């Protein structure tokens, strides 16, 4: 089965992603970062891992934490911080592209099981997640948590325990995406809403071909055939 990412690796990934976010977005000294709750959801790590990552950045002088006020960007050497960041977000010999391909192959390959086994209640759950996703997006809030919930619900609908245990691929994919594109911490593309709607519509119609095509388009991996 999948090898769990170590606590130390997750902490470092979270710290590097936040540092890259601050540098890429050119957040000035004194800028307040999102709350710990929001950051833990966005980075797909526990609150404890997030706090360790923040402590790492605080020890490096990148951020400052003030009790009762929040976490703020410090006045630090940005050139040195850029040099300290890893050139790649790959880990343990794998690349972000390989993780994307594995996750796409898993979900697209499981479409037949999803269509044949998904229940009315599970479709309603997907619709509810999508409704919350849209509401949060319209309110300018991050939607990564809902995106993850949507895909985990898809995996659970297969009623296959082995597939369900591959959920770490979903989490890792989101972490890698944020590491590569730090601006995603504050952005949520409209296309995801449209593509999720297509997936739900195909599942409601029990249309395997349409569901597979919707999933294929969603992952945008041209070299994986429908």
| Residues 115 and 211 grouped into a single domain | yes
Confidence of residue 222 (pLDDT cuts 50, 70, 90): low
Query: Are 74 and 158 part of one and the same domain?
Result: no
Statement to judge: residues 60 and 36 lie in one domain: yes
Residue 184 has pLDDT above 50, yes or no: yes
Residue 132 has pLDDT above 80, yes or no: yes
Those residues with Cβ within 8 angstroms of residue 215's Cβ, 6 or more apart along the chain or in another chain:
104, 107, 108, 111, 199
Residue 1: pLDDT band (50, 70, 90) is very low
CATH number at residue 17: 1.10.10.10
Mean pLDDT of 87-107: 72
**Summary mean pLDDT of the chain:** 87
* Tokens read off for 150: 């949507």
From 28-37, 104-113, 142-151, 172-181, the region with the lowest mean pLDDT? 172-181
Domain extent at residue 13: 7-84
Strand runs labelled E in 26-141: 63-66, 70-73
- Contact (CB, 8 A) for 193 and 130: yes
Domain boundary among 60, 84, 108: 84
pLDDT number for residue 117: 97
Q: From CA 170, how far away is CA 155, in angstroms rounded?
A: 10
Mean pLDDT for the stretch of residues 109-133: 97
Q: Which residues contact 150 (CB under 8 A, 6 or more apart)?
A: 126, 129, 130, 133, 196
Is the domain of 120 the same as that of 68? Answer: no
Query: Does 80 reside within a domain?
Result: yes
- Both structure tokens of 31: 């800028």
Assigned token pair, 94: 């794998």
* Beta bridge partner(s), residue 72: 32, 64
Is residue 3 scored above 60 in pLDDT? no
Specify the number of domains making up the chain: 2
Asked whether residue 101 falls in the same domain as residue 33, the answer is no
Mean pLDDT of 185-189: 67
* Predicted TM-score of the model (pTM): 0.75
Same-domain check for residues 155 and 201: yes
Q: How far is CA 131 from CA 39, 140, 156, in A?
A: 22, 14, 19
Do the domain assignments include residue 215? yes
Listed in order, strand segments (DSSP E) in the chain are: 63-66, 70-73
Based on the domain organization, do 123 and 206 belong to the same domain?
A: yes
CATH number at residue 183: 1.20.120.530
Percent of the chain with pLDDT over 90: 53
pLDDT of the residue at 2: 42
Determine the average pLDDT of the residues in 53-67: 95
DSSP assignment letter at 76: -
């Amino acid at each position: 089965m999948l090898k769990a990412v170590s606590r130390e690796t997750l902490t470092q990934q979270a710290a590097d992603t936040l540092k890259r976010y601050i540098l890429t977005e050119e957040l000035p000294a004194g800028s307040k970062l999102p709350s710990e709750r929001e950051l833990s959801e966005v980075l797909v790590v526990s609150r404890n891992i997030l706090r360790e990552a923040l402590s790492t950045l605080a020890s490096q002088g990148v951020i400052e934490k003030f009790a009762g006020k929040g976490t703020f960007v410090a006045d630090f050497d940005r050139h040195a911080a850029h040099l300290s960041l890893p050139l790649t977000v790959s880990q343990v010999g794998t690349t972000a592209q390989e993780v994307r391909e594995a996750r796409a192959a898993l979900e697209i390959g499981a479409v037949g099981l999803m269509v044949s086994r998904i229940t009315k209640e599970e479709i309603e759950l997907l619709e509810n997640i999508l409704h919350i996703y849209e509401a949060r997006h319209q309110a300018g809030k991050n939607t990564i948590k809902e995106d993850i919930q949507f895909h985990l619900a898809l995996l659970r609908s297969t009623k296959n325990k082995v597939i369900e245990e591959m959920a770490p691929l979903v989490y890792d994919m989101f972490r890698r995406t944020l590491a590569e594109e730090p601006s995603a911490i504050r952005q949520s593309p409209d296309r995801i809403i449209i593509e999720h709607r297509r997936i739900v519509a195909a599942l409601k119609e029990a249309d395997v071909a349409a569901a597979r095509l919707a999933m294929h388009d969603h992952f945008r991996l041209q070299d994986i055939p429908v």
